[in-house]
Amino acid sequence: MRIEVLKKMDRIAKAAASRDPDDLLAYMGYVFIDPGNSVDGFIMRRKGTTYYGVSRNLTGKKYDFGVMHEGFHGLCGHLDFPGFLNGAGAHTDIGSFSDFHLVASTERDANIGAADFVVDTEAVLDMMGYDNADVVAYRASVESFEQAVRDYKRHYSIVRLNGSPEGRVRRMEAYQQELARMYEELQEQARDIRHGGCCLTKGEMAQEACVPAYIIDFKLEALEVRGYDVSGIELPTFDKVFSRWQ
Ligand SMILES: [Zn+2]
């Protein structure tokens, strides 16, 4: 997903003076057709006109998300991608609104854009404690830890390449202990932040924003596209960190 596309949708919403997804797509010149219940949504082009629809079975934010998914297909230019439209000139969505592990980049991008629009950026940053001093400090600690792990890996590969004199092995062991100590400190910091309640979990954020958790996942991806460092918010687990160099 490109940031220009997200910003383009911001501009469209501003120009249309509305945050209602159907209003926005109408403003973009797309024509709504009720798809019934057989699909979650669709978008198609016929004789220069773009038609779209989202099943009325989807309600609330899920419906909004579906409409914006179709809108971002249009805005991203997917309709011109070879093979995106089927023989009848249509793209249908069945299950793609709720699947976070999609492989098709067109579906991922449409979902990232939709989540970005449906969930308010300021609200999510606030829920994550993005500007909270403890969280900012924690993010910095995660960064130095990851840097230390990278340094260790570099030393480790040299040891493997050149054999390992005793002194060097001892230094590596000390290095490992230092990493373990740093990691413990990270965990402590993370615990304090959790107890402080200034940084909600993904599940809590989803509840607050009245959306399913996968929409929060896509929103976090959108925030990354917008240049926010959200990687440090989820606490790295020991396995995840150490499996990288073992
Ligand atoms: Zn789609």
Tens of pLDDT, residue by residue, the chain (246 residues) = 999 999 999 999 999 999 999 999 999 999 999 999 899 999 999 999 999 999 999 999 999 999 999 999 999 999 999 999 998 899 999 988 887 777 799 999 999 999 999 999 999 999 988 888 988 888 888 889 889 988 888 888 888 787 778 888 888 888 888 998 998 888 888 888 878 878 888 889 999 999 999 999 999 999 999 999 886 556 555 444 454 444
Q: The whole model's pTM is what?
A: 0.80
How far, in Å, CA of 44 to CA of 53, rounded? Answer: 9
- Spacing, Cα 105 to ligand 1 middle (Å): 10
Domain residue limits, the chain:
3-118, 123-209+231-242
DSSP letter at 98 equals S
- Spacing, Cα 173 to ligand 1 middle (Å): 51
The letter for the amino acid at 138 is Y
Site of tokens 């990354």: 224
**What's the CATH fold of domain 3-118?**
Arc Repressor Mutant, subunit A (1.10.10)
- Spacing, Cα 217 to ligand 1 middle (Å): 17
- Spacing, Cα 81 to ligand 1 middle (Å): 13
- Spacing, Cα 92 to ligand 1 middle (Å): 6
- Spacing, Cα 192 to ligand 1 middle (Å): 41
Widest Cα–Cα separation across the chain: 76
- Spacing, Cα 204 to ligand 1 middle (Å): 27
3-state secondary structure at position 116: helix
